[in-house]
A and B are shown apart, each in its own frame.
Chain A
Amino acid sequence: MKTKVYKLFFDYEKEERWLNKMSALGLHCIDFTFGRYLFEEGAPGEYTYRIELLDKMPSHPESRAYIKFLEDAGIECVATHLRWVYFRQKTADGPFEIYSDYNMKIAHYKRICWLIGVFAAVNLLIGSANMIRFVNKGLPVAVSVLNLAVGLIFTYFFALYLLRIRKLKKEKRLHQ
């Protein structure tokens, strides 16, 4: 039986934890498109899920070579959404992490920071520019408020990832 769940995440690690919790309950994610998860019933805990933001779109030859490499290693690509990829591996095959070193973990967080940071900045800029213009003209400012709110939410998550980078960099000074 298949189940659809609508949910929105800003923190991909929280999303990973949720997918793994669902898997533990016997609900395995088999597809994702913006906010819509498709689950299939199966053996509880059969899969471990990981999410990654690629450098290039999944259709790019470099990304395709990378995904194929992972597939050859027994990792299944469940879904792709823009540059995001959803992977899973049979839990029985052992612990599943995409990155086991600090440098690549940091590089991954940095990619996410760029994505979120640019999105936050654009929203804040458009929001405040329109706000000033609309207030001067006496027009409704609802959309600008929305822009500003989205901008602020994304600024928060931008900072959250920055903190994670800082923590890893500190670790990296002593360990590899």
Chain B
Amino acid sequence: MTESGERGALTEAAYYILLALHTPMHGYGIMQFVRQISHDRVNLGAGTLYGAISTLLDKGWIRPLSRERDSRKKEYVITQTGRQAVIAELNRLQELIDNGKKIIGGAHSENESI
């Protein structure tokens, strides 16, 4: 973890919430979306989601969308800073995958040749 904490790994919840909010959504929509794209693997608890949304709002990575007509359920959308955070995370994950494939992939073929 770096000193600023800005370049550390994102939690799975934060990462998926940021992905979800590339389209404006309310809380329940985020839960459904995340469950769907993770094929039922990630089931965000409503309390966890609420906590993550408050933190992301504080950081300015997402913002509430004010709609006059349906202001009952609050909708959120990702901000420019939020997009940058996702891109940074995507690069970090890519590095993990690349290194994993390089080493495990290599060891795997080595074992096979023996």
Contact = CB atoms under 8 A, between A and B. Distances in A.
A64 B111 CA distance: 59
A97 B35 contact: no
Consensus secondary structure, chain B interface: helix
Contact of A100 (B9, B27, B48, B73): B48
Nearest to A89: B46
Contacts of A10: none
B43 A69 contact: no
Given A69-B27, A72-B27, A101 B48 contact: yes
Given A72-B73, A100-B13, A95 B31 contact: no
Contacts of B44: 100
Interface residues of B, number: 21
A100 B45 contact: yes
Contacts of A73: 27-28, 31, 46, 49
A98 B44 CA distance: 8
Chain A binding surface, main DSSP class: loop
A97 B45 contact: yes
A74 B47 contact: no
B11 to A, nearest CB: 6
Contacts, number: 51
Interface string A115-146: 00000000000000000000000000000000
Contacts of A176: 9, 11-12
Interface of B: 9, 11-13, 26-28, 31, 35, 42-51, 72-73
Interface of A: 52, 66, 69-70, 72-75, 94-95, 97-101, 104, 108, 176
27 contacts: A52-B47, A66-B47, A69-B27, A69-B50, A70-B47, A70-B50, A72-B27, A72-B28, A72-B73, A73-B31, A74-B28, A97-B43, A97-B45, A98-B45, A98-B48, A99-B45, A99-B47, A100-B13, A100-B42, A100-B43, A100-B44, A101-B11, A104-B45, A108-B47, A176-B9, A176-B11, A176-B12
For the complex of A and B, 9 pairs with smallest distance between CB atoms: A100-B45, A98-B47, A73-B28, A97-B45, A99-B45, A100-B48, A101-B48, A70-B46, A99-B47
